[in-house]
């Protein structure tokens, strides 16, 4: 196992990958615990280093997002993260956003696929959302100009726009996807969205003319998405559009309980579901752990690829087959029309892992 000897972060056990685990807030701890159980039952070669972030950290007398946690992710280069609650209209800056910015996790990837056993209006959805994760209206530059007048600044840099375009085309090319569609509003935001478009066009023309490229004004794009999502393949969006369209697309395949995600930087990645901390159902055993479990499978695929470890690929395939079987056999949580609790769904997946 030559490749294994080359791992930088083997810790005490040379056969294991070390990864940071952040349970988060709201439904985070319960879905994280359920996913951890499934991964352990599948004997994944991963050792977790657990860190608290968000309100859970504050309750434990720690900062919202400790430098130690950031450093741990930088060191291990991979993390699985539950959602952290973000106060609405007041309070501290989103921990999720802070983490993405501090670690320069510039590319969010959210695969959206129809699942057997989860009937929805469309049966053939298979698209990938790629969201620029570091700028746009998420720059957090907001202020009161004068009494009754407030403003928020949308930031776009050529470096970040080109970087995400390049990442998206490379991803599409490697995954043998056929077409990239950019959703934009450059008819109104001519400067910022205009730059985003120009960068995407440039990367397409210079480096990936083999891929189909399409631009759609976001409002028309959303209409087309809900009419027939099968016409889309890879969607490339700036930060806020990516956030909104991710939830829209989740609704096409069964909701937030079934859409995973990953945030990639140059040489590190944090895997987290698209959903938030859903405080309305927290602590009740109602949360679907599948979106985070799928994110865990994405993490294993990433480890398999970046660290040439076939065990991670095998474990990923096994877990995927198990949750697909569970769903096909009607084992579902309430959000999907079933009756299972968070833990009972995890048990159903574990029971189908096979040998
Ligand atoms: P954020 O602002 O953190 O992104 P949000 O406003 O998108 O959060 P979520 O926490 O993602 O809100 O949840 C929206 C609703 O979707 C919740 O109220 C909950 O009912 C449902 N939901 C979200 N995630 C799940 C899940 N894993 N299982 C079941 N229901 C969920």
| H/E run at residue 180 | strand 179-184
Residue among 256, 261, 277 whose CB has most ligand 1 atoms within 8 A, to mutate: 256
269-291 residue pLDDT tens: 999 999 999 999 999 999 999 99
Nearest 5°: the CA angle 294, 132, 228 is 65
242-257 residue pLDDT tens: 999 999 999 999 999 9
- Asked if residue 55 has its Cβ within 6 Å of ligand 1, the reply is no
The pair of structure tokens assigned to 95 is: 């921990």
The minimum-distance atom of ligand 1 relative to the CA of 275 is 11
Which carries the bigger pLDDT value, residue 59 or residue 178? Answer: 178
In this structure, the residue with its CA closest to atom 15 of ligand 1 is 278
- Asked if residue 296 has its Cβ within 6 Å of ligand 1, the reply is no
- Asked if residue 316 has its Cβ within 6 Å of ligand 1, the reply is no
**Average pLDDT of the chain, as a whole number:** 93
- Asked if residue 251 has its Cβ within 6 Å of ligand 1, the reply is no
147-173 residue pLDDT tens: 999 999 999 999 999 999 999 999 999
Partner residues linked to 112 by β-bridges: 127
The minimum-distance atom of ligand 1 relative to the CA of 289 is 27
The overall pTM is greater than 0.85? yes
Q: At what angle do helices 28-41 and 342-351 cross, to 10 degrees?
A: 10
In this structure, the residue with its CA closest to atom 7 of ligand 1 is 276
- Asked if residue 107 has its Cβ within 6 Å of ligand 1, the reply is no
Spatial contact of 45 and 269, defined as CB atoms under 8 Å apart: no
């Amino acid at each position: 196992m030559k490749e294994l000897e080359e791992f930088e972060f083997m810790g005490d056990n040379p056969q294991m990958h070390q990864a940071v685990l952040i349970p988060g807030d709201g439904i985070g701890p319960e879905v994280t615990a359920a996913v951890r159980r499934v991964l352990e039952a599948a004997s994944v070669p991963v050792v977790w280093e657990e860190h608290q972030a968000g309100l859970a950290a504050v309750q434990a007398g720690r900062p919202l997002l400790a430098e130690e946690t950031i450093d741990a992710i930088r060191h291990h280069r991979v993390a699985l993260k539950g959602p952290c609650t973000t106060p609405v209209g007041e309070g501290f800056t989103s921990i999720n956003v802070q983490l993405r910015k501090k670690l320069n996790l510039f590319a969010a990837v959210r695969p959206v696929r129809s699942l057997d056993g989860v009937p929805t209006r469309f049966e053939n959805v298979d698209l990938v959302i790629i969201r620029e994760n570091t700028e746009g209206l998420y720059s957090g530059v907001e202020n009161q100009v004068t009494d009754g007048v407030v403003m928020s600044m949308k930031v776009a840099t050529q470096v970040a726009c080109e970087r995400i375009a390049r990442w998206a085309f490379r991803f599409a090319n490697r995954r043998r996807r056929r077409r990239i569609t950019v959703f934009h509003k450059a008819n109104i935001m001519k400067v910022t969205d205009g730059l985003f478009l120009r960068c995407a066009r440039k990367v397409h023309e210079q480096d990936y003319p083999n891929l189909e490229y399409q631009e759609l004004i976001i409002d028309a794009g959303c209409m087309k998405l809900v009419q027939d999502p099968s016409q889309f393949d890879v969607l490339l969006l700036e930060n806020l559009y990516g956030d909104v369209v991710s939830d829209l697309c989740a609704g096409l395949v069964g909701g937030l309980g079934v859409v995973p995600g990953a945030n990639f930087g140059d040489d590190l990645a944090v895997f987290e579901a698209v959903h938030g901390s859903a405080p309305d159902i927290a602590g009740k055993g109602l949360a679907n752990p599948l979106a985070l479990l799928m994110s865990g499978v994405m993490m294993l695929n990433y480890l398999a690829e970046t660290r040439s470890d076939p065990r991670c690929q095998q474990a990923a395939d096994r877990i995927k087959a198990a949750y697909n079987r569970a769903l096909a056999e009607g084992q579902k949580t309430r959000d999907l029309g079933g009756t299972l609790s968070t833990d009972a769904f995890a048990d159903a997946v574990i029971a189908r892992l096979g040998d």
